[in-house]
A and B are shown apart, each in its own frame.
Chain A
Amino acid sequence: MSTEVGDTTNLSEKKDFLVNSSSLKDVRSFSREVFEKFKINEELREELVLAIAEAAQNIVKHAYKDYPDTQDRMAVRISCTDKELEISFFDKGKPVEKSKVKHRAIDDVKPGGLGTFFIQEIMDSIKFKEGDKPWINNLVLTKKL
């Protein structure tokens, strides 16, 4: 885990993980550790952990759908000012087709399609960007504090 400290109100932590479902618990542990360090209140912390885990899960399930045995790594960066949290994900998987990123209708009860809904419910903004090399995808989530 790397730490970048600008000043007392601008903190940033970044860590990379193998793109695999078994890494999701490590993504959650990292997130909890960072939010504790950033003194985010516990209730919001667990919501944010869910949003982060869902975004990481989407990388495993969708960006690497055809590569279940990949050795690629994804990175998660959590940055915090006194006003906003910014959570960035970086991966080298299949480029995200923004038009295809949508959750199922919430009243159409069936398994699947809820991860993106949870992210939208929890976060204030979701932006898909092209990643700077070597990354392909860069998802940026923000939440006002």
Chain B
Amino acid sequence: MTYKVTEEGDTSTVFLDGEIDMDKTEGAKEVIFPLIDAGKNVNLNLSNVQYMDSSGISVLIESHQKALEKGTKLIVKDVSKSVLKVIMMAKLEQILNLE
């Protein structure tokens, strides 16, 4: 997994890349969590993530809940078809902010 972060005002956009599994979740959290802790709104762009398992889904849930606690917003953007299928299998399409 690789990533890139861009900043615009109080919003950070995190572009994740590759396959997100148990081996990659700590790296994803290390990128996303500090931004939420700093009070940023976070756009999580998943257009280049081709695979995500339950560990990756847990990162999305944890990030979403963390943002709610901090009074910021996490938007999951441009989800690839394969990852959207997993999000829907977890019945999270109405829980996460998807765009």
Binding site for B on A (CB under 8 A): 21-22, 24-25, 28, 46-47, 49-50, 53-54, 57, 60-61, 106-107, 109-112, 114-115, 117-118, 121
| B21 with A50: CB separation less than 8 A | no
Question: Complex: how many Å from CA A37 to CA B55?
Answer: 28
Classify the secondary structure of A's interface with B.
helix
Given A22-B23, A57-B21, A114-B90, A109:B54 Cβ within 8 A: no
CA distance A109 to B45 in the complex (A): 22
Instruction: Specify which of A49, A60, A114, A121 is in contact with B22 (CB 8 Å cutoff).
Output: A60
A53-B21, A110-B61, A111-B62 given. 20 additional CB < 8 A pairs? A21-B22, A24-B21, A24-B23, A24-B53, A25-B19, A28-B19, A28-B21, A46-B51, A50-B53, A53-B53, A60-B22, A61-B22, A106-B91, A107-B91, A111-B58, A111-B65, A114-B90, A117-B54, A118-B86, A118-B90
A112 & B58 in contact (Cβ 8 Å cutoff): yes
**A57→B52 CA distance, assembly (Å):** 13
Beta-carbon nearest neighbor of B62 in chain A: A111
Cβ-defined contact, B54 with A114, below 8 A: yes
Interface size on B, residues (CB 8 A): 22
Measured CB to CB, the closest approach of chain A to B57, in angstroms, equals: 6
Question: What's the dominant secondary structure at chain B's contact region?
Answer: helix
User: Do A118 and B54 touch across chains, with their CB atoms under 8 A apart?
Assistant: yes
Task: Tell me how far the C-beta of B22 lies from the nearest C-beta in chain A, rounded to whole angstroms.
Answer: 5
- Separation of A53 and B82 alpha carbons in the complex (Å): 15
- Chain B residues close to A by CB (< 8 Å): 19, 21-23, 51, 53-55, 57-59, 61-62, 65, 82, 85-86, 89-92, 95
CA distance A57 to B58 in the complex (A): 14
Closest to B91 in A: A106
